[in-house]
Amino acid sequence: MHRGGPVSLVDARVERFNDAEIFVEVFENVRGEDMFIIQPTSNPANDNLMELLIIADTLRRSSAARITAVIPYFGYARQDRRTKARTPITAKLVANMLVEAGIERILTMDLHATQIQGFFDIPVDNLYASPIFALDVKHHFKDQLDDIMVVSPDVGGVARARELAQRINAPLSIVDKRREKAGEVAEMTVIGDVSDKTCIIVDDLCDTAGTLCKAADLLMEKGAKEVHAYITHGVLSGPAVERVTNSVMKSLVITDSIEATGPVQAAKNIRIVPTAPLFAQAILNTWNGTSVSSLFDNSTLGPIYEGLYTT
């Protein structure tokens, strides 16, 4: 990032050799500069991760003063612990690789497991989508805020759902799901009364959307008036878009932390809210040495999103 004046992308090229090896060349002098690499490690996760590592190595060897990796979606975050014998903790491996490549700071959003911050011995700023979602809910549901019920799709996501519920002053319900094996949901029950409520399911990521759509069905069976979902990371792989399109959900709101595919953009009940204003301000605050956590306050975040949520 250049000091003073408008900020533009550094002139560089990222290419593939015939055997798919990645090559990076930077065409500008970055010596002594504060550099920010913006790279979600989403699908294709391995290619995007290697690009990030190689760009970081390029900048380090070019004498950049500091390298911050801006990773809107942190891939491999679901592999944050050993779930059974002889399995990896890949999130820790990725953390080690990022630091070894020369990255000195991480800026990301809604880590699947917040303890991943502790996998790093460098600063990690984990931004939250809930303040943006709260602004969006207050704008789009302003006439029915008293009827909203925030729903966590599982027990593990209660803290995340509670954060949004507190911001919009809404009650909280939980869907308790029990898995027989990975990818299958054997049994789901609702904890809390959702009858005649506008239910908003909150989670950090949606992959195949199987659990999300089943939770929406269950909430409607329990008497919900309508169901919406606010999910930070729209992984949306395989049959996800078709499932969401055909589901009882009125809307699925995701962020642009992962680049939307054509089917996602075309889906009639999927809406995308931008994270760029929040990340841009966080990058500016990091560069200036001012508070990043202050961006979670409505008084600070509101003006950043003023053009999007004017009433």
Q: What is the CATH number of the domain that holds 266?
A: 3.40.50.2020
Q: Are residues 136 and 247 in the same domain?
A: yes
Rounded CA separation 274/232 (Å): 10
Whether 190 maps to a domain, the answer reads yes
Q: Are residues 111 and 134 in the same domain?
A: no
Q: Are residues 41 and 21 in the same domain?
A: yes
Q: Are residues 148 and 87 in the same domain?
A: no
Q: For tokens 């798919």, what's the residue?
A: 20
Q: And the tokens for 168?
A: 């919009």
**What's residue 311's pLDDT?**
52
Helices (H), 85-157: 90-100, 130-140
Q: Are residues 293 and 220 in the same domain?
A: no
Instruction: List per-residue pLDDT tens for the chain, 311 residues long.
Output: 444 557 789 999 999 999 999 999 999 999 999 999 999 999 999 999 999 999 999 999 999 999 999 999 999 999 999 989 999 999 999 999 999 999 999 999 999 999 999 999 999 999 999 999 999 999 999 999 999 999 999 988 999 999 999 999 999 999 997 766 665 656 889 999 999 999 999 999 999 999 999 999 999 999 999 999 999 999 999 999 999 999 999 999 999 999 999 999 999 999 999 999 999 999 999 999 999 999 998 888 989 998 887 65
Q: Which residues are catalytic?
A: 177
Residue 190 CA: distances (Å) to CA of 93, 176, 212? 37, 6, 13
Q: Are 92 and 63 in contact (CB under 8 A)?
A: no
Rounded CA separation 23/291 (Å): 35
Q: Are residues 66 and 136 in the same domain?
A: no
Query: CA 173, 153, 258, 140: dihedral to nearest 10 degrees?
Result: -30
Whether 36 maps to a domain, the answer reads yes
Whether 2 maps to a domain, the answer reads no
Closest CA to 266 of 294, 233, 244: 244
Q: Are residues 218 and 143 in the same domain?
A: yes
- For the chain, how many structural domains are there in total? 2
Rounded CA separation 40/34 (Å): 19
**What's residue 298's pLDDT?**
83
Whether 310 maps to a domain, the answer reads no
Whether 139 maps to a domain, the answer reads yes
Rounded CA separation 292/280 (Å): 11
Q: Are residues 168 and 38 in the same domain?
A: no
Whether 155 maps to a domain, the answer reads yes
Q: Are residues 174 and 232 in the same domain?
A: yes
**What's residue 178's pLDDT?**
73
Q: Are residues 90 and 142 in the same domain?
A: no
Whether 6 maps to a domain, the answer reads no
Q: And the tokens for 295?
A: 């961006």
Decide: helix, strand or coil at residue 249: coil
Model confidence, pTM = 0.92
For 213, the domain range is 130-273
Q: Are residues 110 and 210 in the same domain?
A: no
Rounded CA separation 54/27 (Å): 15
Whether 311 maps to a domain, the answer reads no
Q: Are residues 240 and 290 in the same domain?
A: no
